Amino acid sequence: MSASSVHSLWTTAAPVADKIPAPHIEYAQLAPVLIVFGAAALGVLVEAFLPRKSRYSAQTVLAVVGLAAGFAAVVALAEKGYGTTKAHIAAMGAVAVDGPALFLQGTILLVGIVAVFTFAERRLDPLAHGNQVDSFAAQGSAVPGSDQEKAAVRAGFTSTEVFPLLMFAVGGMLIFPAANDLLTLFVALEVFSLPLYILCALARRNRLMSQEAAVKYFLLGAFSSAFLLFGIALLYGYAGTVSYSGISAVIDGTATMTPALASTTGNDALLLIGLAMVAMGLLFKVGAVPFHMWTPDVYQGAPTPVTGFMASATKVAAFGALLRLLYVVLPGMRWDWRPVMWGVAILTMLAGAVIAVTQTDVKRLLAYSSIAHAGFILAGVIATTPDGISSVLFYLAAYSFVTLGAFAVVTLVRDAGGEATHLSRWAGLGRRSPLVAAVFAVFLLAFAGIPLTSGFAGKFAVFKAASEGGAMPLVIIGVISSAIAAFFYIRVIVLMFFSEPKPDGPTVAIPSVMTSTAIALGVAVTLVLGLAPQYFLDLADKAGVFVR
């Protein structure tokens, strides 16, 4: 038998394809994401090629301009009607361009701009060897306390690579709530998580604690990503597709039945376990109980500007993705997922509020407060009505600016060891620095949901949507949790204004224009959304329709 005839036994001639079809991508509608990633890539080049002296100003300007241009692109898309009448699925089914996506992207970009201001602050720490320093380690790769680190501080090095890392994180967060298939969701999750893991480890003071926070976040984040990925595999096994509309059609029974589908769709275990695992991955990012264990340690250990950015932007992105998953993929499974979400929301509200009462560190207190807020937002998610979506969008926008402002204030209260985050150090702050204490009090009152603040408008909208959606017991528990939470917010205000200042108490650093702007924006948004929320509620209402 000749070699050629043997060869032909196990190969057949394939029909020659004319050409590989090119993907069809709507670049104009993906402009916000592309602009931010473009700026991030430019930031990497700046790090590589510009001399060390000019990197800081170049990176700051590049980051602000990139995020502002991205926001302008979001506004332009909304003006052209992509949030309402022209909403559609772009990039060959990978990304949705619709109202909720544009609203959340706009919020994330504005949060990013304010975060850049806090990242760029260099007036708070005393000069190190005649050089101004920021909140980040002089050289991230140096071992804490080593000669290499001391040499880097003496030479006046600064970690300007935090700006491109921030930009990559924002880019991933822009895709996350707009993802329209499970693989895009997973890739976006990794793109914004990996820079955050690095940013958490870069604190200039308390470096060991900062690195411990980063390791905890990385390990637990890897676990949650693994759960998400396994859930995606099971959902793909169930529906034979990773696209949201495809899975939804299989669940509803409107998909064309093939023999393969008929054999898997008879088995609901794949669907239910897969859904539970994907939800776990998203609830981890949100910081909902029982997936919240990383939150207090990471918030306390990370550099405070990073904590502020993470606490606000990650929540916005993760809740956007959770909303899209539950409302687009699983409307037919409502009776299955609502009872579980009820349990998660109740646990999250109560645990966040009760454990926060025992905290003695400002950053840990704000971390447990953010867990309680995740519970309040989940109440709006559970409503499963159009009002539910718009109330969650409004709450996310209001909450993110209060959080950024509160963490920006925390960076100002300092003693010899850096930030004075222990609550006992804040005693009498209102007498020593009335303006800073008053601003922090405004943010705490907004967290507590006191009328005339954005927190009240947000909570009212979410609870109203939940009660109309038939979740009245949830609203009652939410109000009780709010009352518990109000106790520890007001306790801090009493501590600041009605205690005697200690002679060795901390000082309040005078910030530069950067942090002052971040705090002023936080106060302005808190008061505007509290006093005149109607325009923004209407905007969220218009943006509250998902495309399928």
For 290-306, the DSSP string reads: TS-THHHHHHHHS-HHH
pLDDT band at 4 (very low <50, low <70, confident <90, very high): low
Determine contact, residues 402/447, Cβ cutoff 8 Å. yes
pLDDT at 123: 84
pLDDT exceeds cutoff 90 at 211? yes
pLDDT band at 146 (very low <50, low <70, confident <90, very high): confident
pLDDT exceeds cutoff 70 at 300? yes
pLDDT exceeds cutoff 90 at 505? no
CA distance 293 to 220: 9
pLDDT at 404: 95
CA distance 171 to 207: 27
Chain segment 117-133, per-residue pLDDT in tens: 999 988 887 777 778 88
pLDDT band at 301 (very low <50, low <70, confident <90, very high): very high
Q: Please give the angle made by the CA atoms of 369, 372 and 374, to the nearest 5 degrees.
A: 115
Q: Give the up-direction half-sphere exposure of residue 219: CA atoms within 13 A in the CB hemisphere.
A: 9
Q: What is the pTM of this model?
A: 0.93
**Residue in this structure with the two tokens 């990176």, named with its chain if needed:** 59
Tell me the three state secondary structure of residue 505.
Answer: coil
Work out the percent of the chain whose per-residue pLDDT is above 70.
97
448-466: average pLDDT: 93
162-179: average pLDDT: 96
pLDDT at 450: 92
> What size, in residues, is the chain?
548
407-423: average pLDDT: 87
Query: Which residues make beta-bridge pairs with 529?
Result: none
Chain segment 366-386, per-residue pLDDT in tens: 999 999 999 999 999 998 888
User: What mean pLDDT, rounded, does the chain reach?
Assistant: 90
pLDDT at 3: 54
For the chain, the straight-line distance linking the first and the last C-alpha, in angstroms and rounded, comes to 59
pLDDT band at 142 (very low <50, low <70, confident <90, very high): confident
Q: Which of 211-215, 361-365, 409-413, 421-425 has the lowest mean pLDDT?
A: 421-425
pLDDT exceeds cutoff 80 at 267? no
pLDDT band at 17 (very low <50, low <70, confident <90, very high): low
Determine contact, residues 137/213, Cβ cutoff 8 Å. no
339-347: average pLDDT: 93
pLDDT exceeds cutoff 80 at 427? yes
pLDDT band at 2 (very low <50, low <70, confident <90, very high): low
Tokens of 262: 């008929």
pLDDT at 205: 86
